[in-house]
Amino acid sequence: MIDKLVKYIREIYSVKESFLPLHEPRFLGNEKKYLNECIDSTFVSSVGKFVDKFEAMICEITGAKYAVATSNGTSALHIGLVLADVKQNDLVITQALTFVATVNALKYTGATPVFVDVDKDTMGLSPKSLLEFLKENTSFIDGKCIHNNTKKQIKACVPMHTFGHACRIDEIVEICNKYNIKVVEDSAESLGTTYKNKHTGTFGDMGVYSFNGNKTITCGGGGVLVTNDEALAKRAKHITTTAKVPHKWEYDHDEVGYNYRMPNINAALACAQLEQLDGFINNKRELSGLYKTFFEGQENIEFRIAPKDSDSNYWLQAVCLEDKQARDEFLDKTNAEGIMTRPIWTLMNKVKMIGEFIQGDLSNSEWLEDRIVNITSSVRI
């Protein structure tokens, strides 16, 4: 089957022999035009018309009222947690099955991660596991969710929309609202994905997206925080620009700030990419249909389709193998043939540098870790 898959991937990408990366960017629109305009303007750093245009485009695409552009998705998530008042010794719930950036942003605040399980179908945070953990391990005291063993407050929850597939985010938000826990959606991978006809990243108090080189839309780096809360948006803009108090010439800063603003030159690239978002996503959905047809009837391997109620952007296409041995054989053979594939991430509770953490049952996460592989996912030209 693997030999047939390698041949099939080369056919649908019209690449006979050369190496096929997992996901590479496509620059098919106004990228060079906007970059030249940006350079000619001399405004290539954190001030310029393309940053404002980018934020407006994100609001239009997602339906969020406010967007604040940042240097990358990790910095956007860090700011979101700061705005959620997450501080040293607080607890933040997230999933162990995620890219390390999710937990890195959490650790920047000095908080301790609490890992709960994911659902097998969405590969994202499980509302059932979340509720079970909260019922069994916390008490609600004076409007605060307190972890019984450590006596620390759970301030925030960071669910992640894995590979662009939406988790059951409405249920998660409902649970967190009951426990007075802020929700910061890690929507880094899900720009263009809707859940029950609402864009991911707009269910919680805040959401963030990434524009890294391997994302559906890229500007080399870059991120953005979205929210419907005007006060949060204003503070996000303030602290991502070194918390400088506006004045014609004085340098006065009223709190510790961050140099997290997206440069105008990156925003120029992002604007050109966003103009092509619909086409890119349609292309990826067509690709998922091709893969779905190919894998139908194949024994011991399942192509992952969008879960119920999720209209996915299919950022990364994924298959599920029978077990870890089959996964490793698949990875070995495809990569040996010049077709880049990769496993899902190592669970964050296994990464030593994470340090202290709390965890619930992670059975689904462990099952998926042993079986999920990403296959060629670039937009086909």
| Residue-wise pLDDT tens digits, 15-49 | 999 999 999 999 999 999 999 999 999 999 989 99
Whole-number Å distance between alpha carbons of 200 and 192: 8
Q: Is the dihedral of CA 97, 124, 226, 274 positive or negative?
A: positive
The pLDDT, as a whole number, for residue 52 is 97
Compute how many other C-beta atoms are within 10 angstroms of the C-beta atom of residue 273: 27
How far apart, in Å, are the Cα atoms of 321 and each of 35, 123, 291? 43, 15, 15
Q: How big is the chain, counted in residues?
A: 381
Which of 204, 215, 240 has its CA nearest to residue 313? 215
173 within 8 A of 203, measured Cβ to Cβ = yes
Helix (H, G, I), strand (E, B) or coil at 101: helix
Which of 84, 34, 307, 338 has its CA nearest to residue 186? 84
374 within 8 A of 22, measured Cβ to Cβ = yes
The pLDDT, as a whole number, for residue 70 is 98
State the Rg of the chain over Cα. 21
Vertex 84 angle, CA 97 and 206, to 5°: 70
219 within 8 A of 193, measured Cβ to Cβ = no
Vertex 27 angle, CA 224 and 381, to 5°: 120
- DSSP string spanning 192-244? T-EETTEETTSSSSEEEEE--TTSSS-BSBBEEEEES-HHHHHHHHHHTBTTB
Torsion, Cα of 182, 185, 235, 147 (10° steps): 30
Pull the structure tokens for residue 352: 């030593």
The pLDDT, as a whole number, for residue 297 is 87
What confidence tens digit (pLDDT) does each residue in 150-169 have? Answer: 999 999 999 999 999 999 99
Contacts of residue 290, defined as CB under 8 A and 6 or more positions apart, other chains included, come to: 12
Residue 183 phi, psi dihedral angles, 5° rounding = -110, 120
Alpha helices in the chain, H assignment, sequence order: 2-13, 31-41, 49-62, 73-83, 100-108, 127-137, 169-178, 230-239, 264-274, 277-295, 324-336, 363-369
DSSP 8-state assignment for residue 143: T
Exposure string over 242-257, b if 16+ CB within 10 A, otherwise e? beeeeeeeeeeeeeee
The pLDDT, as a whole number, for residue 114 is 98
- Taking each helix axis from N to C terminus, what angle separates 49-62 and 31-41, rounded to the nearest 10 degrees? 140
Whole-number Å distance between alpha carbons of 310 and 187: 13
191 within 8 A of 51, measured Cβ to Cβ = no
Across the strands, what pairs with 244?
Answer: 253
The pLDDT, as a whole number, for residue 62 is 98
Pull the structure tokens for residue 178: 């009951």
Name residues of the chain where pLDDT drops below 50. none
Contacts of residue 285, defined as CB under 8 A and 6 or more positions apart, other chains included, come to: 312, 314
Torsion, Cα of 111, 113, 119, 122 (10° steps): 50
pTM for this model (two decimals): 0.96
Pull the structure tokens for residue 287: 């690709």
Domains of the chain are 2-25+277-346+371-375 (3.90.1150.10), 31-276 (3.40.640.10)
